[in-house]
Structure 1
Amino acid sequence: MAKEIDDIIDGLKNATIENTESTLSLLNKVTTSEPNSFDNYNLTEPLLRIITSSNVEVCKEAAKCIAEVTKTEAQRKKFTQKEIIEALINCLRRNSNENFDMDLTIQICRALGNICYMNDDARNMILNIEGDADLMRLLDIEAGCDSSKDLQFIKVRGGFISNYLLGGEILAKRAMELKIMDKIQAIIDKCMTNVEQNEDLLLNILPPLSILTENVSDLNFEPKLNKQLAQILAGSTNPDLAELCLELLHYQAENDDVKLLLAKEGLCETIYKLLEKYKTLASTSEARALMKLACDLIVLILTGDESMHYLYSTPLLKNMEDWLDSYDIDLLTTGVLALGNFARTDSHCIDMVENKIMNKLLAILSKNNGVDDDMRLQHALLSTLRNLVIPKPNKGAVIEAGLVQTILPMLEIHQPPVVFKLLGTLRMTVDGQESLALELLQNKKLIEQLVHWSKSSDYAGVTGESLRLMAWLIKHAYHTRSSVPSTSAVYIKPDEKGCSLVNPAEPVTATAGIGEASSSTGESCSDITSLRAFIHTEGTVDSMINMLTSQHLVMQNEALIALSILSTMFLCESNEDSSMSSVPSSSKSTALVHLDDLFIQSELGKKLSEFIGRSSDTMTKEIVENLKIFTSLLRNSEKLIKHLEQYNIDELLKSIPILTEYCTL
C-alpha cells in the first residue's frame, strides 16, 4: 500500500496539464482512497499546481481530491496555506462567469468547507483575501430541490458558510456588511411558496442564520422573518426543521416586541396543537428534547407583559389549564408555568382563584410534594402559587384550601431552587395573616429549619428567604395588635407584589406604653405565647441580629422591625414580672425570656457597629428612623446600655449622614 501511495504522489508531482487523462486517473485514485491514507504525505505542492489549471475537469477533480483528504485534521493543517486557499477562491471566482459549472462550485465548496472546519487560521486567510465576498455570492446562485446536483450544492454551500461563520463575531459582522441577511431572506421568501417541497433548502439555509444570531449581539430579525419562521414551524412535519425554527425563535423571543408579535401570530396555539398531535410519539431522547424546546418557547413568550395580556383573552389560557390534567410531566409543568406567568396581575390571580385553578394546582402539589418527586414541577407549582397568593382577596381562600398544610411537608426537601420558592410562597402567604403567622411561629420544625437554612445554605437566595420569612412572621403576627405595648411607631409598608422595597414612613402605633398593662393580662400573655416559642428555639435571635448585616436595604429594615417588636415585647421581662402574673410559678423559669442576655450573647453591639459602619452612607430615612426606635428600646435594659457603650453605638449613630442632615436643616 505504501509503495502504491508513493507512486501516486510521484505521478502527481510529474503530472502535466497536457496529459489530462493520466492526471485525472491519479487524482481519482487519491479521491477513492481512505482519507487518512495520505496523512503522512504532503499533497499540497502537486495539488496547488494542478488546481490552477485552466482545464475545468482537472480543476474539478483536484478540488474534489482536496475535499476528500482534508476530512482529516492532519491534512487540514497542511492545506491551511494562503496559496492553496487563494487558488481555490480564484477558481471559484472564475467559475462565476458565463461558463458556470455547478460541479466545480460544489467541489470547491467542499474543499474550502472542510479546510475551514474548526480552523480559525483558514477562516482568517479567507477574510484577509476578501474571499468572504465570493462566499456570500454563493447565496445568489439559484438552486431548487429538484435535482440531485442542486441538492448537493445546497448542502455543501450551507456547510461551507456555516463552517466559516463559526469563526466568531468578526467574521459574522463582516458577513452582515456583505448583506448576508438580505440574501438569506430572499431564499426564505422563495421557500415560503411551498415549505414542504423546499425543506432541504430551508434545512441548509437556517443553520447560518442561527450562527449569526449567536455571534452578533442583539441581532433582531425583521418582523417578516419572525413570522415566516412561525409559519414554517406550523407547516412542516420535519423534526429537524422544527428544531431549527424553535431555536431561532427562542433567540428572537428574548425581545418583548417579538414576544408580542409571535403571540399575535398565534405561535403558542400552533405549538399547543403540534404537541397535542405528536405527544405520544415523544419516546426518544431527541423527540423529548424537541418537545421541551417547544414547551419552553410558550413559557418564554408569556414572560412578556404585553404578550401575556394579549394571550390571556385567547384559547391558550384554557389550553394551559387543560394540561394540568396531563400525565406527561413536560406538558404538565408547562401548563403550570404558563398559568404562573398569567398570574402576574391581581385581576388575573383573583379570576384564577375564583375559577378553582388554584385548587387544581394544590391537588397536583399534594401528589408531588415529596423528596423524590420532580423538582422542576415542584418549582413551577410553588412559583405559580406564590403569585396567586399575593393579592389580599386571595389569601383567605388559598389558606382555607390547604396551601400551608400542602407545602409544609416540603421542608424535607433540600434542593435550593425548590426551597427558595417554598420560603417565598410561605412569606407571601403570611402577609397580613395574623392567625397564620402566630401559628407558624410555634411550628418548631419550621423555625428550626429556617434557622438551619439561614446559617448553612450555600445558596444565597435560601439564606435570605429564611431570614425574611422569620422577620415577616414576627411582623405580621404582632405589629398591628392593639395589646402590644410600644413607645413609638415602627415604619412599615404593606408588601408589594413581586418586589421588595424599603418601607416608607407610615407609622403604625400601638396604644399602650412600655410597662403599662394591657386591658387583660391573660390576653397579653396569650398574645406573646407564639413569639415566646419562637425565641426559645435556639438560634432565632442570633439569626435576626445577623440579618442586620445583610447587603440588602429591605432585609436590614425588616430585621430592625422584627428586633424592635422583640424588644418591645420582652426587654422588660428579665427585670419585671408583671407580664407573667397569670403564669404559674412553676412555669415561669421556662417561660421567661431574658432578651437582653440573648442580645449580648449574639454580639448585638458588634453587629450594630458593623451595620452602621458599612451602611451609614446608603441608609434611607426609613431605616434610620427604625434604627433610632430600636436603639431607644434597647435602653430599657441596663445590661444593654453598658453593652452598647462598649461598641460606641451612640457616637456611631451621630455619624450617620442622613441624621446629620436632619440636625443641620
Structure 2
Amino acid sequence: MQDEVSVVSAIVMSVTYNLSEALETLKLSSGDKAVDSVESCLECLLKALAHNNVDASRKIQEMGVLPMMPSLLATQNSCTPKVANIIAEVAKNEFMRSPCVEAGLIPPLVQLLNCKDQEVLLQTGRALGNICYDSHEGRSAVHEAGAAQIVAEHIKALAHNTDPATGKLLTVFCGMLMNYSNDNDTLQAQLISMGVIPTLVKLLGVHAHNTALTEMCLIAFGNLAELESSKEQFAATNVAEELVRLFRKQGEHEKKEMIFEVLAPLAENDESMQKLFEGGKGSVFQKVLSWVPSNNHQLQLAGALAIANFARNVVNKSKMLSAGVSDVVLKFLQSEMPPVQFKLLGTLRMLIDTQVDAAEQLGTNRKLVERLVEWCEAKDHAGVMGESNRLLSALIRHSKSKEVVRTVIQCGGVKHLVTMATSEHMIMQNEALVALGLIAALDLDSAEKDFVGSTLVQVLHKLLTEEKSAPEIKYNSMILICSVMGSEPLHKEVRSLAFIDVVSKLRSHENKTVAHQASLTEQRLTAQS
C-alpha cells in the first residue's frame, strides 16, 4: 500500500515539475516561434490538465500564460489545435472564463472559425462554448466578435454531411450556440433571426442516428420554442414529423421525455398542433394521454401542457372528448402536484366550453365535484383554488342541468361559488353569478339553506352598492335577486336590506342594459314587498 502511495506521489510531483518547466519554456519559446519547442510544451500542458484540470489551470493563470495565447493563435500551424484545446480545457473552470476574455482570447479564436481544418474548428468550437458557459463576460465578448453567425453558417453548410467526424463537429457547434444563448432571450432571438431553427430541424432528420447531436438539437428546441418569434419558423418546418419519427425510434424514457418537453410549447402553434393531433389519432397525442396518470411528475406536467394546448382548438374538443380525453384527465384527481392540478383543471374547463353533454357527464361525476370542492379551499395554491372554482361554475353554466346543480349542492360547492362572486377578478365574479343564477332557477329549494348560510343576499347587496362593480356584475346580481325571491327566508333578507332603494338608483345607470334590468327588478321587488 505504501509503495502505491509513493508511486502516485512521484507521478504528481513529476507532473507538477514538468508543468512548471513547460510553462517557463513556453514563455521563453513563444517569442521566437520555435514550433517544435512550443508543441512539446503544449503537449505537457494538456497532460497536466488531463491529470488535474483545476490545479493545472490555476498554475497556467498564475504564471501569466493566457496573455501569450493570442500570439500563438495568430499564425496557424500544428500548434494551433493544441492551443485551442488548452483554452477549451481551462475554460471548463468557472474561475478561468473571465481571465480568458481579459487575455484577449476571443478575437483570435473567432478568426480561427474561418479556417478549413476540422480539428482546429472542433477545438475552437469547444473553447468558445466553454468560455460562454454561464458567463456574461464570455457571451458578451463572443457576441461582439460575431462568432454566432459564423458557427450558424458552418452548421448550415455541414448539415447534410453524415461523416462521423463532421457529426462530432456539428455537436460541438450546436453546444457552443446553446452555451452562448442559454437563458438569454436577446441572444436566442438573434439565433432565430439567423434562421437556425430550419437548420436544426434538418439536423434532426439527417442525423437521427447521432444520439449526442439529436440530444443537443432537442435542448436547443426546448430553449427556442418558448420565444414567440420562434413559432412562425417552427410552423414552417416539418419539426412535428421529425419529432414524431424520433420519438418512435426511442427506447430511452429520458429521451422521450425531452421530446415531449419540446412538443408541449410547439403545440401552442395551431399548425404544429394539428400535425401532432392528427384528428385525435396522432401517435404523439395518444402517447401524451398516457403521461397524465404517470408516476413521473415531469411527464405528468408535460402531458398536461400538451393536452391543454390541443384543447384550445374548437374543432379538436369534440374529437378529444370522443377519444376519451376527459376520462384520462380525470386520473389527475390523484395527483398531488399543484402545477399538474392547475393545468388539467384549466384543460377540463376548456374541453367543456360549449360542450353540453361533456359538462353534464363531468358535472354529475361525484368524485370530481368532491375533489373540486376540496381544492376550492387550497389556500396554499391560489392557482389551483381559482381554477377549481372556475371549473365548478363552468360545469353548471355549460350543462344547465338540474342533476349537475344538485351534485354541486350536495357536495358543498355553493358556498365556494358565493365566495367566488366576491373575487377581485371580474371574469370570475361574473362566472360565479351566472352559475348561482342557474342554481336558483333550477333548484332553489335544495340550495336555499346554503344561500342563507353563505350570506348570498348580503354579497349581492354589496355588489350592487359598490361603484367599482362592472355593469355585467350589477346586471347579473339583479337577475339573481329576482331568482331568489321565491324563497321565504331569502325574500325576508332582501326586504330587510332595502334593496328597492339600491335598485331604483340604478335606473339612471349609464349602461342601458343595467338601467332596464333595474326597472324590471324594482317592479318585482315592489310587487312582492
TM range (shorter): 0.7 to 0.9
1:554 and 2:472 aligned: yes
CA distance in 2, matches of 1:273, 1:565: 47
Q: Which residue of 1 aligns with 2:369?
A: 365
Letter in 1 for 2:24: D
The equivalent position to 1:93 in structure 2, one of 114, 117, 123, is 114
1:431 matched to 2:438: yes
2:76 aligned counterpart, secondary structure: coil
Counterpart AA for 2:408: L
Deviation at 1:273, TM superposition (A): 4.1
- Correspondence for 2:34 among 17, 20, 36: 17
Per-residue deviation, 1:203: 0.7
CA distance in 2, matches of 1:561, 1:65: 78
Deviations 1:241-264 (A, max 9, x none): 333332332222223343333222
- Give the direction of change, closer, same or farther, for the CA distance of 1:418–1:231 in structure 2 (3 Å limit): farther
Aligned to 1:156: 172
Residue 71 of structure 1 pairs with residue 92 of structure 2? yes
Structure with greater helix share of residues? 2
Which of 310, 316, 339 aligns to 1:307? It is 316
Distance in 1 (alpha carbons) for counterparts of 2:410 and 2:149 = 67
How does 1:95-114 map onto structure 2 within 5 Å? 96=116, 100-101=117-118, 103-114=119-130
Indicate how the Cα distance of structure 1 residues 372 and 25 shifts in structure 2: closer, same or farther if over 3 A, else same.
same
Q: What does residue range 513-662 of structure 1 map to in structure 2 within 5 Å?
A: 534=457, 539-540=458-459, 543-546=462-465, 548-559=466-477, 594-596=496-498, 619-626=510-517
Mark the runs of 5 or more structure 1 residues left unpaired by the alignment: 449-469, 471-533, 571-578, 580-589, 637-665
Rate the CA distance shift 1:213–1:592 in 2: closer, same or farther, 3 A: closer
Equivalent residue in structure 2 for 1:231, among 237, 241, 245: 245
Tell me how far apart the structure 1 counterparts of residues 328 and 219 of structure 2 sit (CA, whole Å): 35
- How far did 1:69 drift? 1.2
Question: 1: CA distance between counterparts of 2:451 and 2:385?
Answer: 24
TM, length-normalised to structure 2: 0.74
Counterpart residue identity of residue 274, structure 2: L
* Deviation larger for 30-39 or 364-373: 364-373
**How far apart are the structure 1 equivalents of 2:394 and 2:460?**
30
Give me the whole-angstrom Cα distance separating, in 1, the residues matched to 2:377 and 2:265. 31
Cα deviation per residue 1:7-65 (whole Å; 9 max; x = unaligned)? 44323211243324432334325533323554452432222222234223x11111111
Relative to structure 1, the CA distance from residue 150 to residue 223 in structure 2 (aligned partners, 3 Å threshold; closer, same or farther) is closer
Amino acid at match of 1:552: A
Label 1:310 to 1:109 Cα distance change in 2 as closer, same or farther (>3 A).
same
Q: Is the 8 A contact 1:27 1:61 kept in 2?
A: no
For 1:170 and 1:544, the matched residues in 2 are separated by: 46
Matched residue type, 1:363: K
Show the counterpart of 2:158. Answer: 141
After superposition, where does 1:233-272 map in structure 2 within 5 Å? Answer: 233-264=247-278, 266=280, 270-272=284-286
Letter in 2 for 1:25: E
Which residue identity does 1:93 align to in structure 2? N
Out of 342, 346, 361, the position equivalent to 2:351 is: 342
8 A Cα contact 1:143 1:150, kept in partner: no
Decide whether the 8 Å contact of 1:64 with 1:108 is kept in 2. Answer: yes
Among residues 398, 408, 413, which one is paired with 2:404 in the alignment?
A: 398
Whether contact under 8 Å (1:81, 1:122) holds in the other structure is no
Q: CA deviation at 1:209?
A: 3.0
Q: Using the TM superposition, give the Cα deviation of residue 145 of structure 1 relative to its aligned residue in structure 2, in angstroms.
A: 8.3
From the superposition, tell whether residues 50 and 138 of structure 1 become closer, same or farther in structure 2 (CA, over 3 Å): same
Alignment partners' CA distance in 2, 1:388 and 1:132: 52
Q: Check the 8 A contact 1:321/1:339 in 2, yes or no.
A: no
Query: Counterparts of 2:301 and 2:202 in 1: how far apart (Å)?
Result: 31
The total of aligned residue pairs comes to 492
Tell me the equivalent position of 2:74.
Answer: 52
Deviation at 1:116, TM superposition (A): 1.2
The superposition leaves residues 371-402 of structure 1 with CA deviations (integer Å, 9 ceiling, x where unpaired) of 7998788877765554343256x5123235x3
Cα RMSD between the aligned structures?
Answer: 4.9
The aligned amino acid for 1:52 is A
Partner amino acid for 1:31?
Answer: L
The structure-2 alpha-carbon separation of the partners of 1:427 and 1:208, relative to structure 1 and needing over 3 Å to count, comes to same
Structure with the greater alpha carbon radius of gyration: 1
Match of 1:521 in 2: none
Please list every run of 5 or more consecutive structure 2 residues that lacks an aligned counterpart in the other structure.
Answer: 1-12
Assess, with a 3 A threshold, how the Cα gap between structure 1 residues 24 and 362 changes in structure 2: closer, same or farther.
same
2:421 and 2:484 map into 1 onto residues whose CA distance is 29
1:178-577 paired onto structure 2 within 5 Å: 178-191=194-207, 195=208, 197-215=209-227, 217=229, 219-220=231-232, 221=234, 222=236, 224-264=238-278, 266=280, 270-273=284-287, 276=290, 282=295, 287-313=296-322, 316-317=323-324, 320-321=326-327, 324=330, 329=335, 340-345=349-354, 348-350=355-357, 353=360, 356=361, 358-359=363-364, 361-366=365-370, 369-370=373-374, 383-384=390-391, 386-391=393-398, 394-400=400-406, 402-408=407-413, 424=431, 427-428=434-435, 430-431=437-438, 433-434=440-441, 436-437=443-444, 439-443=446-450, 446-448=453-455, 470=456, 534=457, 539-540=458-459, 543-546=462-465, 548-559=466-477
Following the alignment from structure 2 to structure 1, what is the Cα–Cα distance between the partners of residues 306 and 222? 16
CA distance in 2, matches of 1:230, 1:418: 43
Given that 1:173 and 1:216 are in contact with CA atoms closer than 8 Å, whether structure 2 keeps it comes out as no
Counterpart in 1 of 2:3?
Answer: none
Question: In the superposition, relative to structure 1, how do residues 68 and 172 fare at CA in structure 2: closer, same or farther (>3 Å)?
Answer: same
Per-residue displacement from partner, 1:266-292 (whole Å, max 9, x unpaired)?
576534447649967x4xxxx421232
Segment of structure 1 superposing worse, 295-304 or 229-238: 229-238
Q: Secondary structure at the match of 1:549?
A: coil
